[in-house]
Every structure is written in C-alpha cells, then in structure tokens.
Chain A
Amino acid sequence: MTNSYDNQTLFAYLLGGLSDSELERLDEMTFTDGEFAEAVKIAEKDLVDSYVAGELSGPMREQFESHYMASPIRREKLAFARALDKFASHAANAPDPTPAPLRVAETKASSGWFKELLESLGLLGGGNRRFAFAAGAAMVVLLLLGGWLIFRGSAEKRASDIATGTNKIENPPLPTATPLPTASGVPITVPTPNTKPTISPTQEATPTPKRTVEPSQPTVAMFVLPAPLRGAGPLTQVKLAPGTQFAQFSMGLESNDYTSYRVELHGAGGGPSLWNSGTMPSRGSKTASLSAKIPTKLLRSQIYSFTVSGITKDGTAENIGDYSFRVIK
C-alpha cells in the first residue's frame, strides 16, 4: 500500500497540495495504515532536511515556507533538523573517537624536522597557520629549555657531588615534570624550571641516595582554540585526562586593535559567566593571543564557549568572537 505513494505525493500531502478528498483519504491512512504513517514520517524528515540543506527551490520552497512553517510544532522540527545537521557534520568530521584537542592548520613555514615534529604532535590538519607555527615554536622552546635544564641539573649535581664527595650516585636525579598532553591526549613530560631536584645533605651518610623533590606541580593541559570561523567549522574537542587540574586555552586574535581584553566562559546555552579573566592588557604586538587557565573542576563533558571582548580606550567592551569547544572528560 505504501509503495503506491511516491515521495512527490507525500510531499504534496505535507505541503497542502492535495485536493480535499485526497487529503482526507491520506489523513485516514495515517491512522489506519502503519506503513503509510511511517512513510509520511520519513518523507517529512526528508523534506525538512532538504530545506535545511538548501535543496528546495521554486514553488516547493515557497510552499514549505508558507504552509509547512505555519505551525510552531513544525517549526520546532525544523529547528531540530538544523541542529542535527550541524551536529552530524561536527561529529562526522571528528577524526577519531578521541579527537585531538589541538586543531592547527598546516603551515608552509614548517618544513623538514619542524613539520615532522608538528605532525607527530598532531598539530597539523586544519585551522590557523599562525597557531601551527606558534604552537610548534612553543614546543621547540620547551624542549630546548627542558634539555638545558637537564643539562644544568646534571652539571650542578656533578659539581655538588664532587664538592660533597658523593659522586657515586648510581641513578642520576631526574627533574620532576609537568605533564603536557599532546594533540592525541597522551601526556609528554617537559621539565619545568622550578622543579630542579635538590639533594639532601643527609645523603652523604646514606648508602642509597635520597632525593628530596618539591611537591608535585598542578597538572595543566594546554589547548589552542582556532579563531572563530564564519561558517560551521568543526568544533574543537578538548579531552581532559583524569587528574588534570587546569586546562589552559590559547585563543588567537585576528588583530590586536584594543588596549585590553576580557575573556568569559559560558556554558553551551549561554547563561551566566562561569569564569572571567578580568581585564587583560594588550601586549602591544601586532598580532596577539589570549590565554585562559581554567580549573577543570569547572568543566563537565559538554560544549562551552569563551566570549572574547576587546576594551576600547573609552572603556567600551566590544564582542570580538566566541570560541566554542567540547569538553570530553
């Protein structure tokens, strides 16, 4: 029975394009014929999806807007279809079930080992070139700093050992480190300057060296949020590993035209500010990025948005953009 109705008839039924007698017959069938009722439901979803996708044109589009959209219930269906379309695009564009927190664009500036480094850290793939370069450069600086600290720590230790005559330590002390999740969410360890190991003087007397290490530092995960796109770009996924205490976000600005900035964190539906940066003075460079360090206890698995405002000289706040991201815990 259902098969005798093609989509054109069903669309005409939904758009008020049938005669009264035909309309009544089909109305009755939506009650008495389960298959037909299902076919109408599917046709209705197809129709709404086609409208959302901009695939309806001419009289059909006009009928949709004049007839179908006449009801609040049907307008809700339209709103849902729009949201589903956007959601499916975002979800399907996510590279894997544990998507990268960093989405930074490929950069021509990167080449050779530098590019390989970015690729190995998952920093290439989409977004803003400036971020790719900056993030890559930051990594290199951190690694060089780490290397230097290891070297310095080791040299100091050797000097100390020589001075105290304890240069027979079998295991050289290792600096403690702050885990820094990579794009794939796997922490890498980067030495931090203030975690230089100190050797207790008592170790002289003990056969096994005892190292006193400063209390562990708060665990910070760093993420770069791409500049807001005009179209529907992929939503940045921010995966927070258990134990991460702070999430530090870096947001790039197109230009640096304001004397200061303010960043506010909101839930997906807007609502009250969950966190705000206060006034952050501009650093004066031509381009800039803003940073926000958020305690992860404020974040749940849902969509959030940073609202960035630029403060003009006369103190007026102007909205610059919203940086949305989805937290996965």
Chain B
Amino acid sequence: MKEVPAKMQRKGDWTPSEGSFKRFLVWLDQGTDTEGQSYLGMRDRLVTYFDRKNCSSPDELADETLNRVTRRLEEEGDIDSEAPAKYCYTVARYVFLESLRSGRDKHVSIDEASEQGKRELAAAEVDGDKELKEKMLSCLDHCTSKLDEPSRDIIIRYYYGKEREKIDNRRAMAESLGISVNALSIRACRIRDKLEGCVGNCAKEV
C-alpha cells in the first residue's frame, strides 16, 4: 500500500516510521551517538513540563510533542532554526496551549487536585496505604542491593539524619570523598533518580 505523505495526514493520525524516528534520534543527538539517551532525557523533560502545568496526561502530551517534531523533520528534512532542546520546548508550549483551548487534556484545577492530594495523603497517613509503603520499602531494599557499593553508601548516608545533623553529615561526606557539597548533591540526585526508576518498575511488578 502506498504510504500517505506526512503533509497530507492529519496531525493526530500521523505515526512515525522507523526511518523518521531514526532521523529524529540523529537530529536530537547533534552528532554524538547517545544510544537513545537524548531521546529518553527529552521525553522525561517533556513529561515533567506537562506535569508542572497540571496536565492530567503528561505522557500523552509528551508523545504528541515528540511526534510533531519528528513529523516536521520528516517534512523538512532538517530543522536548523533552533537547537533541538529549544525547538522541542517551543512545540511543547504550543501543544500545551492547544490542549488548553481544545479541552483535550483534562486539566485538573489546583483546588480540585490538591483536595484529592490531601485525601490521598490522609489515607496514607492513617495507614490506608500501608501495603504500598511496605512494597516500596521492599523494592528499595531490592534496588539498593543492585547499586554498586559506593553508590549504595552515598544514598544511605546522604539521606540520613535531620536538619543540622544532615547538613553536617553531608559536609563530612563531601570532604571524605574530596568533592564539593554541590558535586555530592548532584551525585546523590543521580543515584536517587536511578533508584526511583528502579523502585517504580519494581512496585509495578510485585
């Protein structure tokens, strides 16, 4: 069957072919093969962006944005007006405004959402969510055991303690590692991201 050119398809109908997706990855990498990491990073930023806007389906809107950029690349062959990250942001902003106008994405009002959040929090605090907590603890146990030893040590020591004790503890840790407190926080943040991803997957499996 003859493929319909990208320009002739409606926005919502278009799905990237393998070729167009590869072209998009190459464009995003800007000459460095990141083996898909740039794509994952960009998708993550988009999801976070739409989530901060309180969109109810941040994943869908992120995919919609990536599809549009990929389609534009397919149509134009290249996009050199802006750097990939800036271009993706511009498209994301349009997608967000469009979703607001069309009412396609059900935006949750802050009041409504925070009420729901408070209800969930209250439920969690009265032990309604005990099972989830235990599951997360079990997954944390499993996921930290998969970390290399220095990372495991950092994540446990970095998050140990309260207020002053925590600050002093971090300063001492940074000193012992021979790095600045800022560098230590970046390192801990990356380990935590990895751990959070692992726990998220584990919690779904268990």
Residues of A within 8 A of B (CB): 14, 16, 24, 27-28, 30-32, 37-38, 41-42, 45, 49, 53, 55, 65-67, 69-71, 73-80, 82-89, 91-92, 267-270, 301-303, 305, 326
- Is B34 part of the contact surface with A, judged by Cβ < 8 Å? no
Known: A31-B85, A268-B134. A76 touches B45 (CB 8 A): no
Q: Are B54 and A303 neighbours in the complex by a CB distance under 8 Å? A: no
Counted as pairs of residues, one from A and one from B, with CB atoms less than 8 Å apart, the total is 140
Q: How far is the CB of B68 from chain A (nearest CB, A)?
A: 15
Determine the chain A residues whose CB is within 8 A of the CB of B70 once the complex forms. none
Q: Are B114 and A82 neighbours in the complex by a CB distance under 8 Å? A: no
Known: A16-B110, A67-B114. A83 touches B133 (CB 8 A): yes
Pairs A–B under 8 Å by Cβ, sample size 25? A14-B52, A24-B93, A32-B85, A41-B189, A42-B185, A45-B189, A53-B163, A66-B110, A69-B118, A70-B113, A70-B117, A71-B51, A71-B54, A74-B51, A75-B120, A79-B129, A80-B196, A85-B159, A87-B156, A88-B159, A91-B156, A268-B134, A268-B138, A269-B206, A305-B134
Determine the chain B residues whose CB is within 8 A of the CB of A49 once the complex forms. 159
Q: Are A32 and B86 neighbours in the complex by a CB distance under 8 Å? A: yes
Residue from B83, B141, B163, B185 within 8 A of A87 (CB atoms): B141
Determine the chain B residues whose CB is within 8 A of the CB of A303 once the complex forms. 134, 137-138, 141
Q: How far is the CB of B132 from chain A (nearest CB, A)?
A: 7
Q: How far is the CB of B103 from chain A (nearest CB, A)?
A: 18
Determine the chain B residues whose CB is within 8 A of the CB of A65 once the complex forms. 114, 117-118, 121
Distance between Cα atoms of A213 and B117 in the complex (Å): 66
- Is B66 part of the contact surface with A, judged by Cβ < 8 Å? no
Q: Are A27 and B206 neighbours in the complex by a CB distance under 8 Å? A: no
Determine the chain A residues whose CB is within 8 A of the CB of B101 once the complex forms. none
Q: How far is the CB of B122 from chain A (nearest CB, A)?
A: 11
Known: A75-B117, A80-B199. A30 touches B189 (CB 8 A): no
Q: Which 6 A-B pairs have the closest CB atoms?
A: A70-B113, A69-B117, A268-B138, A88-B159, A83-B136, A31-B89
Q: Are B134 and A38 neighbours in the complex by a CB distance under 8 Å? A: no
Q: Are A70 and B114 neighbours in the complex by a CB distance under 8 Å? A: yes
Main secondary structure of the interface of B (DSSP, over half): helix
Determine the chain A residues whose CB is within 8 A of the CB of B160 once the complex forms. 88-89, 91-92
**For B140, B186, B199, which residue has the most chain A Cβ atoms within 10 angstroms?**
B140
8 Å CB contacts to A: which residues of B116-175? 116-118, 120-121, 124, 129-138, 140-142, 144-145, 155-163
Residue from B47, B88, B89, B135 within 8 A of A269 (CB atoms): B135
- Is B79 part of the contact surface with A, judged by Cβ < 8 Å? no
Determine the chain B residues whose CB is within 8 A of the CB of A75 once the complex forms. 117, 120-121
**Residue ID in chain A nearest B155 by CB atoms:** A88
Residues of B within 8 A of A (CB): 45, 47-49, 51-52, 54, 58, 83, 85-86, 88-89, 92-93, 108, 110-111, 113-114, 116-118, 120-121, 124, 129-138, 140-142, 144-145, 155-163, 185-186, 189, 192-193, 195-196, 199-200, 206
Q: How far is the CB of A98 from chain B (nearest CB, A)?
A: 15
Distance between Cα atoms of A297 and B153 in the complex (Å): 30
Residue from B111, B132, B142, B157 within 8 A of A79 (CB atoms): B132
Q: How far is the CB of B65 from chain A (nearest CB, A)?
A: 11
Q: Are B156 and A92 neighbours in the complex by a CB distance under 8 Å? A: yes
Distance between Cα atoms of A66 and B117 in the complex (Å): 8
Determine the chain B residues whose CB is within 8 A of the CB of A84 once the complex forms. 140, 155, 159, 192, 195
Known: A31-B45, A87-B144. A70 touches B133 (CB 8 A): no
Q: Are A30 and B49 neighbours in the complex by a CB distance under 8 Å? A: yes
Determine the chain A residues whose CB is within 8 A of the CB of B118 once the complex forms. 65, 69
Q: Are B186 and A302 neighbours in the complex by a CB distance under 8 Å? A: no
Residue from A38, A88, A268 within 8 A of B135 (CB atoms): A268
Q: Are B136 and A38 neighbours in the complex by a CB distance under 8 Å? A: no
Distance between Cα atoms of A69 and B123 in the complex (Å): 14
Distance between Cα atoms of A53 and B162 in the complex (Å): 7
**Residue ID in chain B nearest A23 by CB atoms:** B52
Determine the chain A residues whose CB is within 8 A of the CB of B199 once the complex forms. 80, 83
Distance between Cα atoms of A42 and B190 in the complex (Å): 9
Q: How far is the CB of B145 from chain A (nearest CB, A)?
A: 8
Distance between Cα atoms of A269 and B121 in the complex (Å): 19
Distance between Cα atoms of A144 and B66 in the complex (Å): 76
Distance between Cα atoms of A268 and B193 in the complex (Å): 23
Q: How far is the CB of A53 from chain B (nearest CB, A)?
A: 6
